[in-house]
Amino acid sequence: MGENEGGLLAQLRRPPGGRDGRIMLLAQFLDRAGSGVWAAASVLYFTFVTRLDAQQVGILLGVAAVAGIAGSPLAGQLAGRFTVRGLLIWSHLLRLGAMVLLLLCDGFAALLPVIALVCLAERAAKMLEMLFATRATGERRSTYQALTRSAANAGVALGAGVAAIGLAVGTENAYRALVLANALSYTVTAALVWRTREPNGGWRVAAQACAAPDTAADTAVEGPAPSPWRDGGYLRFVLLDIPMCLDDSLLNVGLPLWLVNHTSAPHAFVPAFLVVNTALVVLLQLRVSARAEGPHRAAAAVTLYGVAMLATCGVLAFGTGGGAWSASIALLVTAVLVTAAELVRSVTSWELAVSLAPDRARASYLGVAGMAQSIQKSAGPLLLTGVVMTAGPVGWLGLGAATAGLSVVQRRTCERRLAAMRPAGEVTTPAPAPAGEVTPGPTGEPTPGPAGEAAGEPADGATPGPAARSASGRC
């Protein structure tokens, strides 16, 4: 784990991916700062500026979240035909245009397609950022993901602080200024992405665009790239990944509503959840990522997510029924526990989505994998408010037990697929190979691809293998 020994600040100065990695971290920081502004101000903007009632706001955000589900697979399909850099720039410009249109819309019918477009482009942009990291950072993608999480959370915190100023003013023009601040973040982010380089034809994810002549010939013999929609094993992973993302809804919806409606803790305590979450992610994400690096460690860590969620739900079921002080302390503990689950999930979900995908069709596979978080964002709040909290403590215990059980199933599913993907005779730990022999992938994990496909290049080759070529983005 030598890459992580320098600490967070050292890694931010010299991130995986070099210059492009550093630019993209700054871009994601500014993007999430704008998102933090919008997240804090959106409901109030719809209420006081566009004059929507609570039911209309709920429908608006719900329909928009459903529309966002399509953003990830759509971006994955397009990434096989166009450069990721170009697609990412257009995604940010699309979000910019939607924010400007938002200022010109008043009624519910006009706002609905605009907000749906914002969510669609946002999910597409996040998936394209994942593809960039996969291509540009290679075997250090877990470290880069940790840095991304830290930068993103710091950006959200900054955005929430900016929004607090506008919300304190409370005028319609102040709310409009916050929308413009979000639009400005998209403009700067697109400009930063434009400054990145496109080595050897760009970050195009189609394998043939980056394959050596002999590899391209093999690809032609093998036929068309596999489709994730026909890969039952990968679809099973994506389906099980949906409940492995419930920490997001629990932190942002479950804890605040449980505090307000079922405990005697002061309502002003709600912002503490975000403060605790942001601080822990910034401080600990790099360390957690170092301990779950590589697909096999990531698969083993999935059960830790289930344990953390079970502990979170247990505290909510039994620890929040006392007085104001005891309930507040219990809720703080749950914020720490659910953040622990998030720290694990942010590494395992992404690492496994990349590692379980065939190299030749990685973009389309990651597009499908990105649907898990989008679906959770739509269905998670409904599950918590309509089922779990309605049932009270029993509901929390049921949620915790179900998540823990599904985490075990997910671990076994991933381990079986990793074993099946391993070419015959390949070892799972890196070892020196004599000249002329095939070496394993850069992290020692099985190289995604059909059985029998070469797992690497000769020892004197310029790159360790097809998976590494795909990860680095260099032909």
Question: Mean pLDDT of residues grouped by 10 in the chain (475 residues)?
Answer: 54 76 90 88 86 81 84 87 91 95 92 93 89 75 79 86 85 92 96 79 42 39 75 94 93 86 83 84 84 88 96 92 88 95 90 88 86 86 88 95 97 93 53 41 41 37 36 34
Q: What is the pLDDT of residue 423?
A: 60
Measured distance CA(299)–CA(297) in Å, rounded? 5
Measured distance CA(95)–CA(135) in Å, rounded? 24
- Tokens representing 319? 């620890």
How buried is residue 175: exposed, middle or buried, by Cβ count under 10 Å (0-12/13-18/19+)?
Answer: buried
- Statement to judge: residues 256 and 346 lie in one domain: yes
- Tokens representing 221? 């013999």
Measured distance CA(121)–CA(67) in Å, rounded? 10
Residue 1 lies in a domain: no
- Statement to judge: residues 147 and 284 lie in one domain: no
Using CA atoms, how far residue 132 sits from 109, 137, 248, in Å, is 36, 8, 24
Measured distance CA(454)–CA(266) in Å, rounded? 60
DSSP conformational letter for 415: H
Residue 441 lies in a domain: yes
Residue 33 lies in a domain: yes
Cα dihedral: 378, 396, 238, 20 (round 10): 70
Residue 429 lies in a domain: no
- Statement to judge: residues 316 and 415 lie in one domain: yes
- Statement to judge: residues 312 and 189 lie in one domain: no
Question: What is the domain range of residue 347?
Answer: 208-422+434-475
DSSP conformational letter for 50: S
Q: What is the pLDDT of residue 183?
A: 95
- Statement to judge: residues 255 and 289 lie in one domain: yes
- Statement to judge: residues 265 and 354 lie in one domain: yes
What values do phi and psi take at 438, rounded to 5?
-80, 135
Measured distance CA(266)–CA(281) in Å, rounded? 25
Q: What is the pLDDT of residue 142?
A: 73
Give the torsion sign (CA, 318, 322, 324, 329). Answer: negative
Residue 215 lies in a domain: yes
Residue 241 lies in a domain: yes
State the total domains in the chain. Answer: 2
Measured distance CA(264)–CA(98) in Å, rounded? 41
Q: What is the pLDDT of residue 350?
A: 82
Residue 3 lies in a domain: no
Using CA atoms, how far residue 387 sits from 186, 258, 326, 391, in Å, is 37, 13, 25, 6
Q: Which of 205, 223, 255 is the last residue of a domain?
A: 205
Q: What pTM was computed for the model?
A: 0.70
Q: What is the pLDDT of residue 450?
A: 40
Residue 78 lies in a domain: yes
Q: Which of 149, 178, 205 is the last residue of a domain?
A: 205
Q: Which of 205, 236, 252 is the last residue of a domain?
A: 205
Length of the chain: 475
